[in-house]
């Protein structure tokens, strides 16, 4: 611990001593040493600096098409030396020296980014480099909803009327290149940042389309794209259906406003709430804690975080109390539901407050912290804690198993083993009948959830021990 404290002090002081007049090597050295020291101090597990630097060298090796044979031999020698180097500085110097072999300017900047990306890749899938473009997104983009499917950057849909749709992009298209840069292995947020840019500019997209004989080249013109709201609501009879696609600083206020507006439109008290968190990958931790706390008695444990430092270890607790006064709740989740959304779904399930329906969630039960890099070079997103449910079960990897697993084609609801969730024959028949009779294109999960609200009744006694 003393070594880490000294490293943090040294690198921070070094950064303060390096104004714009610092040499190119000093600038690279500051960035690499600060990155390694911050990760070693804050990462959820103990990590050796040697491992970070070795992965940084491997990151440079991933620039395969850009490395001459002489540079490749130098890199191989550096990796061999890294395995036996003693001490933080000698280990860091090996990586720094290899970065400095790249020409000053864009080539060296790309090498530094590749090294940092490699250091993060050696940790876990959620720790990564954040490019400056992600931290200050320009006002224009191409209007695509994207996902990574089987390692391929895939278009979920072009936003209606947006630049991507006008350029001919379609759902299912795979973006294999952006301005000549291959997208294989590229983190989704980084790919999104590459698609952003100045208003009126055009990225060159290499697109593989299922059924097309050859890749397409498309040039959508970047334009202003209005992000869809993170919370939307509708009313089905006297049941409020609230869709939350991400947790942000306005989630708690927007949820309360939606509940009030739904009750006003219903002309009286609501009879149930469907909380749709399919595709919600999380967002702000505080927003997740606030939202879960709005549906549980004050003082109830929502989850707890375990990290290596006191700042990264804390209990999440309901502070506001149940604002919907025991209103029956059904939560819809799927395999894309992650992080903060899993915390909320798990807490409502653990305390018997809601019936959870759908598919098993992503199991992204870790917390990430943003650690800035010097001189506007972006930041590192580093996993600093793991999430444990109120029952004590780890959320990371395990996810939240629904009380009722829905087969969306048949409408069959299968109770999770040991969940104690049983449907009476009439409710089960009504749900299956409604789903099977629904026209093509119907959101069967939502239809089933609305039908199930009436069967939830008053919540059962808490299954998780009260704090």
DSSP 135-150: HS--SEE--EEEEEET
Torsion of CA 357, 362, 363, 367, to 10 degrees: -120
Q: Give 105-133 pLDDT, tens digit per residue.
A: 888 998 999 999 999 999 998 899 988 87
Q: Give 286-327 pLDDT, tens digit per residue.
A: 999 999 999 999 999 999 999 988 888 889 999 888 888 888
List the structure tokens of 437. Answer: 């009779």
List the structure tokens of 170. Answer: 């379609």
Summarize the confidence of residues 248-274 as an average pLDDT: 91
Q: Is the pLDDT of residue 329 over 90?
A: yes
Summarize the confidence of residues 437-453 as an average pLDDT: 82
Position 224 scores a pLDDT of 83
Summarize the confidence of residues 263-291 as an average pLDDT: 90
Q: Which residue has the higher pLDDT, 406 or 271?
A: 271
* Total-model pTM: 0.77
Q: Reduced to 3 states, what is the DSSP secondary structure of residue 380?
A: strand
Which residue bears the tokens 């580093």?
382
| Selection from 32, 89, 148 nearest residue 380 by Cα | 32
Q: Is the pLDDT of residue 16 over 60?
A: no
Q: Which residue has the higher pLDDT, 86 or 415?
A: 86
Q: Is the pLDDT of residue 219 over 70?
A: yes
Q: Reduced to 3 states, what is the DSSP secondary structure of residue 303?
A: strand
List the structure tokens of 222. Answer: 């970047």
Q: Where residue 465 falls among pLDDT bands split at 50, 70, 90? A: very low
Contact assessment for residue 423 and residue 415, using Cβ atoms and an 8 Å cutoff:
yes
Query: What does residue 92 show for φ and ψ, rounded to 5 degrees?
Result: -65, -40
Q: Where residue 38 falls among pLDDT bands split at 50, 70, 90? A: very high
Beta strand 329-333 with 355-358 is parallel
Q: Which residue has the higher pLDDT, 9 or 164?
A: 164
């Amino acid at each position: 611990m003393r070594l880490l404290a000294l490293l943090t002090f040294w690198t921070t002081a070094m950064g303060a001593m390096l104004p714009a007049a610092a040499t190119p090597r000093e600038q690279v050295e500051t960035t690499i040493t600060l990155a390694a020291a911050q990760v070693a101090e804050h990462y959820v597990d103990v990590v050796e600096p040697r491992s970070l630097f070795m992965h940084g060298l491997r990151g440079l090796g991933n620039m395969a098409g850009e490395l001459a044979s002489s540079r490749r031999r130098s890199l191989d020698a550096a990796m061999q030396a890294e395995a036996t180097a003693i001490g933080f500085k000698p280990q860091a110097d090996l990586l720094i020296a290899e970065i400095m072999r790249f020409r000053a300017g864009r080539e060296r900047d790309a090498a530094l980014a590749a090294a940092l990306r490699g250091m993060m890749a050696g940790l876990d899938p959620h720790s990564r480099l954040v490019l400056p473009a992600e931290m200050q997104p320009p006002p224009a983009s191409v209007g695509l909803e994207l996902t990574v499917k089987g390692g391929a950057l895939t278009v979920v849909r072009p936003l209606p009327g947006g630049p991507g749709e006008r350029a001919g992009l379609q759902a299912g298209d795979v973006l294999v290149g952006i301005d000549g840069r291959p997208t294989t292995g590229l983190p989704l947020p980084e790919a999104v940042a590459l698609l952003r840019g100045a208003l009126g500019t055009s990225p060159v997209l290499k697109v593989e389309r299922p059924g097309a004989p050859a890749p397409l080249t498309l040039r959508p013109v970047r334009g202003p794209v209005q992000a869809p709201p993170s919370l939307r609501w509708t009313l089905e009879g006297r049941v409020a259906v609230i869709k939350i696609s991400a947790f942000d600083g306005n989630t708690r206020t927007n949820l309360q406003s939606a509940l009030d507006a739904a009750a006003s439109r219903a002309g009286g008290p609501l009879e149930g709430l469907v909380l749709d968190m399919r595709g919600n990958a999380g967002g702000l931790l505080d927003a997740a804690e606030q939202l879960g706390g709005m549906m549980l008695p004050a003082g109830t444990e929502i989850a707890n975080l375990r990290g290596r430092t006191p700042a990264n270890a804390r209990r999440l607790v309901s502070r506001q109390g149940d604002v919907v006064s025991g209103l029956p709740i059904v939560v819809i989740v799927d395999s894309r539901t992650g992080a903060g959304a899993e915390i909320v779904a798990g807490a409502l399930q653990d305390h018997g407050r809601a019936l959870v329906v759908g598919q098993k969630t992503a199991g992204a039960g870790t917390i990430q912290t943003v650690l800035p890099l010097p001189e506007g070079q972006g930041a590192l997103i580093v996993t600093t804690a793991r999430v444990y449910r109120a029952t004590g079960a780890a959320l990371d990897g395990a996810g939240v198993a629904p009380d009722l697993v829905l087969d969306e084609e048949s409408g069959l609801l299968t109770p999770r083993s040991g969940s104690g969730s049983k449907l009476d024959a009439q409710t089960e028949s009504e749900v299956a009948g409604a789903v099977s009779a629904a026209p093509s294109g119907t959101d069967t999960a939502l239809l089933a959830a609305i039908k199930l609200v009436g069967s939830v009744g008053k919540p059962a006694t808490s299954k998780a021990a009260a704090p």
